[in-house]
Amino acid sequence: MTAAMVHLIDDDSSIRASLPILLDTARLKTRCYAGAREFLAAWRPEQEGCILLDVRMPDMSGPELQAELARRHIDLPIIFLTAYADLATGMTAMKLGALDFLIKPVDGELLLQRVAAALELGAARRQGEHARRALRKKLLKLTPREREILDLALAGMANGEMAERLGISQRTIEGHRSRIYLKTDVGSVAELALRAAQLGISLERAEPAA
């Protein structure tokens, strides 16, 4: 993982010169880009942080970049900066997930507060994504039989009912359930269901191991 970075995208050279000085007072690292395409060309998946994004730029507008980032599944929190109080553009940007829409010249203290919030949000998103990937990986380790038993347990079926339905002993069912808990690092089906729900994972759609 790389250190969190504030990606400043603005075609105004004075903004690219002044804002990094402000952000440095809060010990925040800044990388500047003169346009959206320059950012896209330099972007690497391991980069973390947030984006300070100008609205009106000649090569690609801020809202156009926001849409392109969504298409590429680049999930960095975005704070828009604009010299124009365009309410409609601001509302659209916020609906599409922008964290804030600030008017230039922006108050320095306010900007630092919003950047701190954006970096915190970005870190939380990354942690959530890592947790989702880890749980999906664990679920894929289940054998077809374990996956079948998990599905039945999620449907509310008791061990005895599962044993009768599958033509195996309750002890065998219990053994499979123990291995399910071990592989997914939980103590019960209810705990697994709760963890999956918190992470936005549908257990019913998880694919079993081949």
Q: Where in the chain is the domain with CATH 1.10.10.10?
A: 140-205
pLDDT at 63 over 80: yes
Taking each continuous run of H as one helix and of E as one strand, the counts in the chain are: 9, 5
Could you tell me the pTM of the whole model? 0.72
pLDDT at 132 over 80: yes
pLDDT at residue 2 in the model: 56
How confident is residue 113, by pLDDT bands cut at 50, 70 and 90? very high
How confident is residue 90, by pLDDT bands cut at 50, 70 and 90? confident
The answer regarding whether domain 140-205 maps to CATH 1.10.10.10 reads yes
pLDDT at 202 over 90: no
Q: Where in the chain is the domain with CATH 3.40.50.2300?
A: 4-129
pLDDT at residue 46 in the model: 83
Q: Kindly give the interhelix angle for 170-184 and 144-154, rounded to the nearest 10 degrees.
A: 100
- Torsions phi, psi for 81 (to 5 deg): -120, 130
CATH number of the 4-129 domain? 3.40.50.2300
pLDDT at residue 42 in the model: 94
pLDDT at 204 over 90: no
